[in-house]
Every structure is written in structure tokens, then in C-alpha cells.
Chains A and B, each alone.
Chain A
Amino acid sequence: MRNTYIPYPVRIKQTRVETEDKQLKSFQLEFINDADAEAFKYAPGQFAELSVSGYGEIPIGIASSPTEGKDLLFTVNKVGVVSSRLHDMKAGDVMGVRGPLGNSYPLKAAEGKNIVIVAGGFAVTTLRSTMIWLLDPANRKKYGEITFIYGARTPGMLLYTEEWKSWQASGQANVHVTIDREAPGWDGLVGFVPTVTGEVAPKPDNAIALICGPPIMIKFTQPVFDKMGWQPDQIVMSLENRMKCGIGICGRCNVGPHYVCKDGPVFTKAQLDKLPREY
């Protein structure tokens, strides 16, 4: 009987400040024990509890894709005790990872379909995982058109810029990246994610949409999809809530009868329409 509260020990291999406000930092983690790396089998959309001994744990979406090898990538927003401590840690430091936790994006069920990904701000993390996974040659052929819409406040707040530029260049996906307002040196799209989504106008036929972003973005993006004729079961969203155990016991992350940590974080709009908006 495995103790699923004990984190796997990992070492920070590399850190990278991602945004101009220095609030977002990425951590590449390598497992200390090979057996743990073997045991950690995950899919895009899942998350893990990052453990910093003496400070606690935080639930963070996995930004790496299982197609990238054994190391894990997390991009962490600095907001509380654990994330602040984590931001002070450096390559070589030992911490822990517990997971993988939660369900994942329904990529198996979406085979043969067009996929529209809409990301806002740093919620792009698990959608990075999804894009890397989808564009892997072994997976790409199973899907139709892939559309990636991503927005941030300024060019300096965009994550993974080299990567989405390469997706764009590859011709494997339709990439639409936008910033809120004109900025010097930016020659890409300008405007909020809901507006850009309306302009790109992805068709609902044989398609699913994966949406992850701040509540305000989701609030204004949903009606855009509704107007274009998308049905609630075609729209898939990833939620976050405060969590502790991460395995559906400790009681705080529920939305109605469902625990975001165990039954989510990925839900369809059809599911959420029947539940309290406690997220």
C-alpha cells in the first residue's frame, strides 16, 4: 500500500524567469530516483503538488508533456508562502513532487476532431503540455486542425514565446497570439482573448475547445463560443481551487459534489452549467 501523501524527491535542474514582472518562474525538475520517474505517468491537463519541506505544498499544473522525457516543467506564480520560497530556490536544490493528480484533457475522445485551444495569462501551462503532446509526430496525425489562441497583457508577459513561434512556423497549428494593448516592437495581434476568438471564429463542427484562463477571460469567452454555435459539451475548461490533499478527501476544493483535485480539474461546460460557481 503506497503512501500517496509522500512526495517523490526531485532536484531543481534549471530555473527561468518567464515574465517581465518576474512573478512567473519556471522550474525544470528531475527525479532523484529512477523508479519514481517511472511511476509518474501523466497526461496533459494533470497537476501535481509541489512540496517545499518546511513550507508546504502547492497544486500546480504540469507544463511539460510526457513526450518530452522524464523531467517535469512547472511555471509558478509567486503569490503565497510556498511559491515565494520556491522562487528563491535554485538549481541543485531538493524539493518534492506528489502526483500526477486529477483528470486530464479528453484528448483520447477528441481523436479525429479539430481542436481549439484558448489560453489566457499564465493558465497556458497545461495547454503548453497539450500543444507539445498534440504536435508530437506520433499524435499529430490523429487530429484535424489545431488552433491555438493565447493572450497576455504585454509581450513581456507571454510565456514560452520561442515555442509558440516555432509551432506557428511549423505549419502544424494555427497560432494566434495577442496582447491587450499596442506595444513597441510588437507586430502581432492586439486585443483581448474573447475578441480575438470571435475574429478567428473557430467552427464548432467536429471540434472541441480547451479553455484555460483567469475567470474574467472565461466569462467573456464563453458567450463568444455560444454565439458561434458551440454546444456546452464541446467546451472543456480547467478549474483551480485551493487544495491540500490533492486526492479528493480534505474537503475544500469542491464545486458541488465534485472535487476539483480528483474529479477535475478538467470539466465540460455542460457539467459546470449544473453546478454552483464556487471556483
Chain B
Amino acid sequence: MAEKILAKDKLEGFLGALRQSHEVFAPAMVEGKVAWAPVEGAEGLLWEFANSEMSPKDFFFPQTECMMRFVNKADDPQGMIMQAEPLLNKQRALLNIRPCDAKAFQVLDLIFIQDEMTNDIYWRDKREKTVLIGLACNDPCPTCFCTSVNCGPHHETGLDLLLVDLGDKFLVKVLTDKGEALTKDLPAAGAEEAKAASALKAKAEAQITAKVGMDKVNAAEVMPLYELPLWDRVMENCLNCGTCTFCCPTCHCFDIQDETSGEAGRRVRNWDYCMSWLFTMHGTGHNPRGAKKDRVRQRFMHKFKYIPMKRGGEIGCVGCGRCVQLCPVNIDVRAVVNQMNG
């Protein structure tokens, strides 16, 4: 793996070249919040920020996405037959994505792309056409716990390039062929620079003091965890509002709905959430997760037990801490998992 140097006074040129071939997005200050926005140049880019309030998952899994269209006309020979929506017609780059978000998408790849039948073309197309240029966290938040869940502030998995801010320059870790193609003109990093980046990594990791234990959760069977008394307590606070699921970079549940307007018809998918009673309700009215407790438990069990069981130990959480920050009733996922593990 090559390590290169991008001087900050060369950033404008790097971005210019990148923008020739890619539509570039990065976190920016938008109406007082950190949110993803198109990049026109180096000016306005953020280099010290916690993370975007919402994860960038909608670049791959939009909140609403048209999957297919049809002519809503039964007497038209082509009518009522679904035609796939065209795929992405451009290459994109997400600049300054945090390592936790990149890791989240690598976990989601395991779910969206499994085999010939479970091969989500909408997800896969956008993943293949998007390059991820990460920005290592040198100053993690108090809510971060990435180091407990197979991730970290300088984690590289899922990224094409990782930038480490060294002050007047970036150390650029080249992680994939896609990343290599974008950095072939950059000079190689020296030993001193590599050492400085390593020191920043160690410091950032040490700064993350919140710890989540998973060993007993991993060793346990499903039913003992499912029947833990803690769900009665967590359930009491939860409003089933779904905020945690929308801000989460790994929450990926969706609904599929048809829409028509005159002769135009389409089938769309929308973010959905396991906190909704309708999510699981049968046509007959029977509901396998009819009680609030069932739904609250599902979210934690899915991320910390079911996904690891099915996906070779990968966890459905990357420790970004967004749900800890945004939950209106202060449910802290770290405390819940530690109780599951207790």
C-alpha cells in the first residue's frame, strides 16, 4: 500500500483534476449543520468537523428512489409492464467521508449483494461508480465508539483513499486501484510523515474511551438474549420515532410502493423502519412484532446479534454515535449493548 503526500496548496489542483472525471461531494456547513454538499473547489471544505448529522448513505440508498416505471394504460400494448429506471450516468467522489461511514457501506455490501438473486442493482451501481476519499478522525467525539465495533478513527476498510491531516499537508493512504488512479501524480510520503500519521492514529484511538463489549453477545444463543429483562426497561423510554434508524449509516430497511399520476406510473422504494407497527403487519391484521418492546428489541438484536451471525462476525454498527446524539429520549446504544453483554 502506497503512502503519498498531498500538500494543502496543491489541493485546488487535485480537486480540479478530480472534478474533471467525477461529481464531487463533501461535508459542508449548511444552515448551521454539517451536511453533504456538492464541491466546487477547495474553499468551504471542512477539515475539522465531528461528522455530518445524517450519514451519507443516501448517495447509495436514497431516501426515495424510483426503481422502475410503467405506462398506466391497460389498452397500450406496452402498458402496465415495468421498465427498469436507467442507472447512474456519471462517476462520483465522496470527499472527506469519515472512516466509520465507509466501513458501514462495506457492511451493507454484504447485505445488498449476496448472490445472483440478492444482487441489488441500484445499490451496486452507485457503489461501483463512487470513489470514497476518507478523512481520518484526529479528534473523535465523546459519543464515538468505533474502536469497539471492528472500526476506528483511521480505519481503512471500504475506502479508496484515506487522508490524514498533518497540518500543511495530507498523508494519503492509497487503498485500492481506484484510489491509485487518482493519486499517481502525487509524491511519495517520507518516513517522518508516516510516523506523524501513526502518532495521530494512536492519539485518536486513545481518545475514544467509550467501550462496548460483545464477547458474551457473540457466544450466546439467540433466545437468551431475546428474553433478557432489559428490553422491558429500554422499551419504556423508546418513542418508536425512528430517528436512530434514519441517521444510522447501516440501517437499510425499505418499503416498496407504487405511485401513479395519470398515465405515468412508477415503483419507488423509501426508507422504512423497524420501529413502525406497520412494518411487519400481515394483510390479515396479525402482527409478529405488534408490541413496542418487540420492535425496540429487533433493532438492537438485528445489529448486534443477527447480522454478526449471518455475515461472518461483521457487526451492523460502526460506532458513529449519531443515534446517541440524536435520540430524543437519550437511549444510548452503548449502554444497551453493554447490558446485552452483561
CA distance A254 to B295 in the complex (A): 12
Is B241 at the interface (CB under 8 A from chain A)? no
A95 to B222, CA, bound (A): 40
Q: Is B280 an interface residue (CB 8 A)?
A: yes
Interface class of chain B by DSSP: mixed
Interface-side segment among B117-125, B168-176, B189-197: B117-125
Given A94-B80, A275-B223, A276-B222, also A254-B306 (CB < 8 A): yes
Size class of the A contact interface (CB-based, 8 Å): 35 or more
Distance in angstroms from A251 CB to nearest chain B CB is 3
**In the complex, which of the residues A57, A58, A94, A252 has the most CB atoms of chain B within 10 Å of its own CB atom?**
A252
Instruction: Please state if B68 and A5 are interface contacts (CB–CB under 8 Å).
Output: yes
Chain B residues whose C-beta falls within 8 Å of the C-beta of A240 in the assembled complex: 282
Least Cβ–Cβ distance between A152 and chain B, in angstroms: 16
Q: Which of A79, A262, A276 contacts B226 (CB 8 A)?
A: A276
Count B-side interface residues using an 8 Å CB cutoff. Answer: 56
User: What are the residues of chain B within 8 A of A55 when measuring CB–CB?
Assistant: 258
Chain A residues whose CB sits within 8 angstroms of the CB of B301 once the complex forms: 256
Contact of B272 with A274 in the complex, beta carbons under 8 Å: no
Q: A57-B256, A254-B306, A256-B222 are in contact. Are A241 and B120 (CB under 8 A)?
A: no
From B10-18, B39-47, B283-291, the one touching the partner chain is B283-291
- Least CB separation from A78: chain B residue: B283
Distance (whole angstroms) from the CB of A157 to the closest CB of chain B:
16
Chain A: interface secondary structure? loop
Contact across chains for B254 and A257 when beta carbons are under 8 A apart: no
Beyond A4-B119, A56-B258, A251-B253, whether A257 also contacts B305 by CB under 8 A is yes
Would you list which residues of chain A between 95 and 146 have a CB under 8 Å from chain B? 95-96, 101
Query: CA A58 – CA B258 in complex, angstroms?
Result: 12
The answer to whether the Cβ of B279 comes within 8 Å of any Cβ in the partner chain is yes
Pairs A–B under 8 Å by Cβ, sample size 16: A5-B67, A54-B72, A56-B257, A94-B79, A240-B282, A241-B280, A242-B282, A244-B255, A249-B254, A250-B253, A250-B255, A256-B222, A257-B307, A257-B310, A275-B222, A278-B294
B-contacting residues of A (Cβ < 8 Å)?
1-7, 9, 32, 51, 53-58, 77, 79-80, 83, 93-96, 101, 215, 240-242, 244-245, 247-257, 262, 274-279
6 more contacts with CB within 8 A, not counting A249-B120, A278-B288, are: A4-B119, A6-B68, A53-B81, A54-B70, A248-B118, A255-B288
